[in-house]
Amino acid sequence: MNAPAPMLEIRGLTAGYGDATVLHDVSLSVPHGHAVALLGPNGAGKTTLLRVVSGLLAQRQGEVLLDGERITAAKPYQRARRGLCHIPEGHGIYPSLTVRENLVLHTWRKDERTAIARAVEHFPVLGQKLGRRAGELSGGQQQMLAVVRGYVADPRLVLVDEVSMGLAPNVVDQIFEFLNVIVRAGTSLLLVEQYVNRALEAADGVVILTKGTVVFDGAPSAIADDVFEHYLGSATVLR
The binding site for ligand ATP (CB under 6 A) comprises: 17, 20, 22, 40, 42-48
Give the contacts of 169 (CB within 8 A, at least 6 positions apart): 238, 239
Shortest Å, Cβ 183 to ligand ATP: 22
Name the minimum Å distance from CB 96 to ligand ATP. 24
Q: Give the nearer residue to ligand ATP in terms of CB position, either 50 or 120.
A: 50
If you write DSSP's letter for every residue of 18-72 in order, what string do you get? TTEEEEEEEEEEE-TT-EEEEE-STTSSHHHHHHHHTTSS--SEEEEEETTEE-T
Sheet containing 61-66, strands listed edge to edge, beginning at the edge strand earlier in sequence: 20-30, 8-17, 61-66, 69-70
Classified as helix, coil or strand, 1 is coil
In angstroms, what is the minimal distance from the CB of 76 to ligand ATP? 16
Residue nearer to ligand ATP on the CB measure, 22 or 202: 22
Min dist. Cβ of residue 51 to ligand ATP (A)? 8
Q: Return the ∠ at Cα 66 (arms to 191 and 160), rounded to 5°.
A: 15
Closer to ligand ATP by Cβ: residue 1 or 20: 20
- Shortest distance, CB of residue 54 to ligand ATP, whole angstroms? 13
For residues 151 and 231, which CB has a smaller minimum distance to ligand ATP in the complex? 231
| Residue 58 Cβ vs ligand ATP, minimum distance, rounded to whole Å | 13
The whole-angstrom separation of Cα 38 and Cα 49 is: 10
Total H helices, total E strands in the chain: 9, 10
Asked if 225 and 183 count as a contact pair (C-beta separation under 8 A), the reply is no
* For ligand ATP, the closer CB: 33 or 41: 41
Q: Count of CB atoms within 10 A of residue 225's CB?
A: 8
**Closer residue to ligand ATP in complex, CB, 66/192:** 192
Q: How many CA atoms lie within 13 A of 219 on its CB side?
A: 2
